[in-house]
Structure 1
Amino acid sequence: MSKKKIFLLFVFLLSVGVFNAYAQNTSSEPQPLVQVLTALETKYNIHFTYVDQTIADIDIKCPDESLSLNDLIDYLKSKTNLDFIKIDEHNIVISKQINPLSELITQKLEEVVITNYLTKGISKKSDGKVHIKTAEFGILPGLIEPDILQTIQALPGILSVDETVSNINVRGGTHDQNLILWDGIKMYQSGHFFGLVSAFNPYLTTNINVSKNGTSVIYGDGISSVIDMKQSNSLDQDLKAGAGFNLIHADGFAKVPLSKQAEVQLSARRSVTDFIFTPTYDRYLQRVFQDTDFSNSSQNTSSTVSNNERFYFYDIAAKLLYDITDQDQVRFNFSTINNSLNYDQLSSSDPNQSLTNSLEQNNFATGVQYLKYWNNKLTTTAQLYVSNYDLRATNYDVINNERLNQENEVNDLGLKINATNHIDDNLKLHGGYQFTEVIVSNFEDIDVSNFTSFVREVNRTHSIYGEAEFTSGNKNTYARIGIRTNYIEKFSEFFTEPRLAVSHKLNNKFRLEFLAEFKSQTTSQIIDLQNDFLGIEKRRWILSNNEDVPIIKSVQGALGVHYNKNQLLISLEAYIKNVEGITSRSQGFQNQFQLVNDIGKYQVSGIDFLINKQFEPFSTWLSYSYSNNNYTFENLNNNISFRNNLDIRHAATFAGTYTLDNLKLALGFNWHSGKPFTLPTEDQNTNSNIITYKAPNSSNLDNYFRTDVSTTYKFKFGEKINAQIGASIWNLFDRKNIINTYFAKDENGNVITIENQSLGITPNVSFRVQF
């Protein structure tokens, strides 16, 4: 007998033996899953694809011989808690379940229409929102880590006029008009180092969704945008950890399985600036503390700042995941964010007199969420959370022997209940209820004049909403329409907010998109005086009272067309947005309107353009935004419209990335026209402290231009430890960009010009390990 025949006979006998073993054990004791799969492959003429670790240590009873293939897959799913994805009639992929039922079905509706939007890890969904996955993040110019709030500023229509993450302007809106959520909890503080570093650890914040328009009705507030950050919500059953440092901070994170049903996620970060003096810290220090009480004191002839200033920040986050059953999940969240500054002010007339000025900024958040998967169609969630923001400052005036205490505190208690029903593969319904109680207090105390002010406002809002998502059978059309109704107890008023997002694929190249929404919000930020909170944090949170601080309401719509073919993306979107109920104190005027309180509105219209070409190993893009943004205040400028303080008429970015194996490089150029400001008139009264001005915002700062470069390289430490080194330079050519100009009078009554500069050339390096 030939070797070939012997081999075939051996295979036949082996198959018969395996099948007999399978047949004999259909109702016997549980068997290793790998053995059962081998037998099933022979019986059903199919092939299973899986990673060995996925099915390791799983035992099941052999299924009944009479089951059809579809019934067999259902049986295996129910007994193993794994996903068996049928590719075709002969191939089945086995994987771990990811958030049973819910996320898999959601992904079918929220189709990704653009992948690698700008860079790897950024995509655009059919409902218009941009999705960022930090674990897959590539590289952007100037960034060596996936800084969340710096990353979103690379998107067309989003920038920061002062380069900070605590002042993100989305299509002409102020920062307080952005709804920032961390695992469903509203956050009132977004930055470290008073705005230069995002306050959210990117290594456990796995998914970020950014919506500029056409927002889902499950979101309230945020008339300009929604930035929804989520930590991992599924059990990995694998230990994952990492740590790293750069020239500003050190951090670490871990995902630790406690059992098959429980996992804990931990992350912590702390600045190293009070231990190590670095060039990066020096640049940040100059940028943040210019034109503040901290820097101005050192220039005062009667007082100086001593050398024992201490500044640091930290954040800690934790999440406990517990699966009670396959259908019942509980999630606990905790987060605290802190910035702290202390410095001594000395009197030159009395060297022994020293008083400590301090500034503390903290955001604490915690919540619990219960998820119930009733069946493969119906899912419900309930979340209860508390978010607290506290800003405290003590400022001593040594010359006048005066102490000023200031405090701004927000307490936000929220309850959210949501139900999602998947009618079929093409239709999904949402419905829910949200309750929020927001308490905002502002305190001010001056010891010399015995002046004390305390204002406390409370607002309770009840919201109900409903929404339908539809995807056509051929996946060419997506539509989401919903309505949200808010009832504000304090004012006994209802606000109805319809929302719409429609996307239609014309052919394999072109897609049309229409987005529209009505929105309102009752929390906002104001600036009473430019030197509030030592001049470092000028903004304080307040609540609408429907008198001098009305409810802010917005209406906006956008129409876009997108071309996507052969890794070439061309996107053009035109929009218009009307916002009513803003106060002049919320806009940061530093001209004739600085101390005036009035109610007004602004209208912004513009276009966002993007062209992105990808060809291995390069990706390059050019984005351009044009906007026309104007105020109208009833009692300012004779009710004549004038330019918004955030009217950046033109903004452009040209950037590119290069990836070669484990090496990544990025280079980018950022340019935008200067923000408007108001010049004083030539003739000033030197006997008065009041400055007379020309027409408001009738002049422009010089154009802003910045070049950034960054690189990262990955390598291995042994078999299980991955490492990465990175280096970046922000503002490579050290261009002196003026980001703000205003005027004051000196002791002789002469007008002096005060200019705030952007961040100068700023190097940074990082090192990370992960296992």
Structure 2
Amino acid sequence: MFFLRFSRQSIFLITLSFASPALAQQVRLSGRVLDATSGESLPFATVVIKDKSVSTQANAYGFYSLLLEKGRHMFEVSFVGYKRYAIEIQLDRGVTRNFELQPQSTELSELVIKGEGEGLSSDMIPGKNSLSVAQVKNMPTLGGEADIFQSLQFLPGVRTAVEGTTGLSVRGGSFDQTLVLLDEAPVYNPSHALGFYSSFNPDAIKSIDIYKGALPAQYGGRLSSVVDLRMKEGNDREFKLSGGLGLIAARLTAEGPIKKERASFIFSTRYSYAGLTANTLGNIAKSIKIKEFQTFKDDNDIRFYDLNGKINWKSASNKDHIFVSAYSGSDWFKYYLFQKGTFTKWQNNTGSLRWYHIFNQRLFLNSTLYFSKYNYRYNLLNDRRDFNWKAGLTEIGIKNEIDFFMGQGDVIKMGLNFSQTGYQPGEISPRTASSLTVPFKLESKRTLQGAGFVGIDKRLARRIMTNWGLRISSFALLGPSVLYNYNGSDVMDSTSLKNGKLGQFKWGFEPRFSAKYQLDSSRALSFAFTRTLQYVHLLSNSSVALPTDIWLPSNNNAGPQSSTLFSVGIKQKARMFVVGIEAYYKAMRGVIDFIDNADLFVNQYIDSQIRSGTGRAIGLETLLEKKSGRITGWVTYTLAKTDRTIAGINNGLTYPTRYDRRHSFSVVTSFQATRRLTFSTDFQFNSGGAASLPTTVYEYQGSTFNYYSKRNGFRLPAYHRLDIQCTFSEKKKWGDSQWVVGIYNAYNRRNLFSVELVPQDYNYFQYSAANAVSLYGIVPSISYNFKF
């Protein structure tokens, strides 16, 4: 770990460059925004000076700093899921002041989207949304198990490809175009149970932010969006124990002080026995002669666990703070409806060591060393081939960031990032001595990535707030750089070097700009321009984010992806309602797709099976939100189109991607019937996605191939679903008790999960049927939660 050192002279020079004679009558107020009950920091909390119509946003560790005129000022501090805090402070000299916010009562929770209706005086990043953990837990989900990614899908522009899965397609992008960060460590496969649940236990998470428009300069490496998750730090004031038991999983979380108000810990675990539940319910349905379950098989094995741990320590001066956090999650999956005759296991592990130091009221340094590992195993059962397949990747990296606070809400953020990633694309081996499989191992790859960035939050005028950013990223592929021609033979590039030396080097500029213009106290306009580069691809021939999908770094045959995004928006506040409209246009280069009849499994030259070209995404997102009263919630409608044009695919003609859903509509509501009883509903409608289905089969040189018409030329049926949940909360002498009863898919809509083409018995070259697979109809749930 390293950090940048500033001498007093260099800090003085930086200060002079932003100084003016008016500063002589100004003083600085700085401090942190904290949870009043646990002492944890509240990242990106908003601090508003009401009498000056000036606002700023705390950084990722809750630290803020403001330069103000001497005198008395009225402050209002807010954070999603917390009560607003207002206070009047007399400023005669520079002072440090922490603000402590009280969480919204769990008995009278409100659904609020921070930055999308919390108040137009707050700083606004175009395309950013935030959810509180309370919101996530208040929304009905599959099996009654609260899920962060399922909740994100009700935000405008965020969708999933198929029923019940958590793979996110943001503004028409593919799954790999979303960067998922947990305490600043990337998570490469953030899903459980083949995508039915995300990898993150809400009990261990403190904040949830998604950026899908303007990306601040510190974020990079993905084209579409960033999901930034921060783990809880642990209560540093008193010991707390919480948990829950439901049909799908059981949870337990313990947190408390190691040294009161100086050091704390949190440990959270979740274990799912979804397979046992599925077997039990399936057998019951089969015994009572439900038609869809007459072919049910009860040897399903669906299990997963999550372990989250974190400790932190701060110095007596409160200028230094150290965090150590870790996550481990593992899955076992076998289900009779699909992946027949296979057993899959996968695992994610991450770790972060972070240290921040407050030099003074203006200068804040944060350094992070992180580790991320993803691996999976795939076993073929009851087959003469009888093999094990394993693959994965490992990444280590370091991030250094400096925040320099200037005037009224003006901040400079700069930093350097470096990472190394090792890719193990696959290794196959026989499971038994009788197996027909020949051992084989694909060539591993290593890459280096680096980035330097600077971003400036600058208020140009009283009503105009801007963000200027520039990121310079670089990528190096270590080892020989190979070009593959169309028949799969390898051709060595003459510029490549062997023996682990540099094989390929790429770099590029990523400028960003966004602006907010406050027309008046109730209306605001926004504009954003963002350019991003992505040096990694996810090779997947399924609309489901499978653990067996292959991560491939950029090379001479599949270069870096790039995206240029423009967006404009307007927001209007009227009494209890906020209306927001945002339009975007995204042009992409270097996006990939597979050739027809691509051979992906155990292919040493797998990138010979793909082509790259251009893509675009156009959309209009609308949001109507009500954030106060007994009935709260939001309504969204998105009109969008995304397509690609790639030479060698679809005869070079433009075609829709499988993530193209023209119309999306969702409703989220919460009704506070009494102080103890809450009813929640959510409804979602997505028009059918695009798919490629073969029209016939042909034979060539002794092999059979599917023949497809237009790429993604079929439209699947529309997806829609209604979920209902009832929550009864009660305070006991020992703590809080909560019963949650829900119905997923309340009107038994049989949404399409996959299509299986069945050839005719007497003629393999003709299909007799197209079987539509639907995972479930109505799914009731009940769970019990506690906290003391």
Class of the TM-score when normalised by the shorter of the 2 chains: 0.7 to 0.9
Cα 1:239/1:555, change in 2 over 3 Å: same
Equivalent residues of 2:595, 2:610 under 8 A apart: no
Aligned partner of 1:417 among 391, 400, 403 = 400
Which residue identity lines up with residue 651 of structure 1 in the other structure? Answer: S
Tell me the equivalent position of 1:230.
Answer: 230
Aligned partners of 2:141 and 2:723 also within 8 Å: yes
Partner of 1:402: 385
Which amino acid letter does the alignment assign opposite residue 393 of structure 1?
A: Y
- Which residue of 2 is the match for residue 380 of structure 1? 365
Q: Which amino acid aligns with 1:419?
A: I
CA-to-partner distance for each residue in 1:417-437, whole Å, 9 max, x for gaps?
000011123210001000010
**1:127 paired residue among 122, 125, 147:** 125
In the other structure, the counterpart of 1:42 is none
1:505 partnered with 2:515: no
Q: CA deviation at 1:525?
A: 1.4
Whichever residue aligns with residue 457 of structure 1, its letter is K
Paired residue for 2:311, among 317, 320, 325?
320
Deviations 1:537-580 (A, max 9, x none): 441222222x2222111111111111112011111111011222
In structure 1, distance between residues paired with 2:662 and 2:611: 25
Say whether residues 1:336 and 2:328 are aligned partners.
yes
Asked whether the 8 Å contact 2:211–2:225 carries over to 1, the reply is yes
In the other structure, the counterpart of 1:696 is: 711
Segment drifting more, 656-665 vs 672-681: 672-681
**Structure-1 separation of matches of 2:204 and 2:566:** 34
Whole-angstrom CA distance in 2 between matches of 1:492 and 1:340: 38
Which has the higher mean CA deviation after the structures are superposed, 236-245 or 379-388? 236-245
**Partners of 1:284 and 1:414 in 2: how far apart?**
50
The answer to whether the Cα contact below 8 Å between 1:284 and 1:759 also exists between their aligned partners in 2 is no
AA in 1 matched with 2:197: V
- Tell me, yes or no, if structure 1 residue 266 matches structure 2 residue 267: yes
Change (3 A) 1:758 1:341: closer
Instruction: Give the alignment partner of residue 644 of structure 2, picking from 631, 634, 650.
Output: 631
Letter in 2 for 1:249: A
Aligned pairs for 1:438-457 within 5 A: 438-445=421-428, 447=430, 448-457=436-445
Conservation of the 8 A alpha-carbon contact between 2:343 and 2:381: no
One-letter identity of the residue aligned with 2:689 = K
Q: Does 1:469 align with 2:457?
A: yes
- In the TM superposition, what is the alpha-carbon distance from 1:629 to its structure 2 partner? 1.2
Structure 2 CA distance for partners of 1:168 and 1:51, relative to 1, 3 Å: closer
| Distance in 1 separating the partners of 2:718 and 2:619 | 19
Secondary structure of 2:138 counterpart: coil
Q: Is the 8 A contact 1:119 1:139 kept in 2?
A: no
Change (3 A) 1:548 1:161: same
What is the correspondence of 1:479-518 to structure 2 with a 5 Å cutoff?
A: 479-490=466-477, 491-518=504-531
Aligned mates of 1:306, 1:711 — CA distance in 2: 32
Deviation at 1:655, TM superposition (A): 3.8
CA RMSD of aligned residues (A): 4.1
- Structure-2 change in CA distance of 1:367 and 1:485 (3 Å): same
Q: Secondary structure at the match of 1:203?
A: helix
Map 1:156-555 onto structure 2 (within 5 A): 156-233=156-233, 236-260=236-260, 261-273=262-274, 309-325=300-316, 326-341=318-333, 358-398=343-383, 401-445=384-428, 447=430, 448-471=436-459, 474=462, 476-490=463-477, 491-527=504-540, 537-545=547-555, 547-555=556-564
C-alpha separation in 1, matches of 2:277 and 2:119: 33
Distance 1:331-1:616 versus aligned 2 partners, 3 A rule: same
Q: Using structure 2 for the length normalisation, give the TM-score.
A: 0.74
Which ranges of structure 1 fall in alignment gaps of 5 or more residues? 1-49, 55-68, 72-83, 104-113, 286-294, 300-304, 345-354
> Counterpart of 1:575?
584
Question: d(CA) in 2 for partners of 1:587 and 1:332?
Answer: 47
Please give the secondary structure, in 2, of the residue aligned with 1:176.
helix
Q: Which amino acid aligns with 2:549?
A: R
Q: Following the alignment from structure 1 to structure 2, what is the Cα–Cα distance between the partners of residues 375 and 521? A: 36
Residues 564, 280 of structure 1: alpha-carbon distance in 2 compared, 3 angstrom cutoff = farther
- For residues 283 and 395 of structure 1, do their structure 2 counterparts lie closer, same or farther at Cα, with a shift above 3 Å needed? farther
373-382 or 198-207: bigger deviation: 198-207
Change (3 A) 1:551 1:280: farther
Aligned to 2:631: 618
Task: Identify if the C-alpha distance between structure 1 residues 280 and 251 changes in structure 2 by more than 3 Å, giving closer, same or farther.
Answer: farther
Largest Rg, 1 or 2: 1
Query: 1:309-348: per-residue Cα shift (whole Å, max 9, x none)?
Result: 543110101001011331111100111010023699xxxx
For residue 750 of structure 2, the aligned residue among 736, 755, 758 is: 736
CA distance in 2, matches of 1:51, 1:453: 54
Alpha-carbon separation, structure 2, partners of 1:466 and 1:118: 26
Where does residue 755 of structure 1 map in the other structure?
Answer: 772
Residues 528 and 568 of structure 2 are in contact (CA less than 8 Å); yes or no, is this contact kept in structure 1? yes
User: Shift of the alpha carbon at 1:668?
Assistant: 2.8
Contact 1:268 1:314 in 2 (8 A): yes
Residue 387 of structure 2: SS of its match in structure 1? Answer: strand
Instruction: Describe the SS at the equivalent of 1:690.
Output: strand
Secondary structure of the 1:154 match is coil
2:248 & 2:379 partners in 1: Cα distance? 26
Alignment gaps of 5+ in structure 2 = 1-34, 40-69, 73-84, 102-111, 287-292, 431-435, 478-503, 601-605
Contact 1:283 1:759 in 2 (8 A): no
Matches within 5 A, 1:79-90: 87-88=88-89
Superposed CA deviations along residues 513-554 of structure 1, whole A, max 9, x for unmatched, are 1122111122221137x799xx96441222222x22221111
Q: Distance in 2 between matches of 1:485 and 1:233?
A: 32
2:10 equivalent in structure 1: none
Aligned residue for 1:765?
782
Could you report, residue by residue, the CA deviation over 1:11-70 in whole angstroms, capped at 9, with x for unpaired residues?
A: xxxxxxxxxxxxxxxxxxxxxxxxxxxxxxxxxxxxxxx99999xxxxxxxxxxxxxx99
Change (3 A) 1:402 1:588: closer
Distance 1:88 1:324 in 2: 27
2:723 maps to a residue whose letter is: D
Residue 706 of structure 2 aligns to a residue whose secondary structure is: coil
Q: Is the 1:118–1:621 contact (alpha carbons within 8 Å) kept by the matching residues of 2?
A: no
**Is 1:139 aligned with 2:138?**
yes
Amino acid at match of 2:349: F
**1:187 Cα shift?**
0.6
The residue type paired with residue 564 of structure 2 is V
Cα distance in 1 for residues equivalent to 2:670 and 2:363:
43
CA distance in 2, matches of 1:495, 1:121: 37
Distance 1:121 1:308, change over 3 A: farther
Please report how far the alpha carbon of residue 763 of structure 1 lies from its aligned counterpart in structure 2 after TM superposition.
1.4
TM-score normalized by structure 1? Answer: 0.76
Q: Which amino acid aligns with 1:425?
A: Q
Change (3 A) 1:636 1:341: closer
Q: Is residue 565 of structure 1 aligned with residue 574 of structure 2?
A: yes
CA distance in 2, matches of 1:615, 1:390: 45
Map Cα deviations across residues 164-205 of structure 1 (whole Å, 9 max, x no partner).
Answer: 454211011111110000011101121122211221111221
Q: Structure 1 residues 243-252 or 492-501, which shifts more?
A: 492-501
SS of 1:656's equivalent in the other structure is strand
CA distance in 2, matches of 1:531, 1:236: 44
CA distance in 1, matches of 2:543, 2:523: 51
Residue 620 of structure 1 and its aligned partner are, at CA, apart by: 4.6
CA distance, structure 1, for counterparts of residue 350 and residue 712 of structure 2: 39
Of 226-235 and 650-659, deviating more is 226-235
Match of 2:603 in 1: none
Judging changes above 3 Å, is the alpha-carbon distance between structure 1 residues 742 and 589 closer, same or farther for their aligned structure 2 residues? farther
- Cα displacement (A) at 1:731: 0.8
| Alpha-carbon separation, structure 1, partners of 2:464 and 2:557 | 45
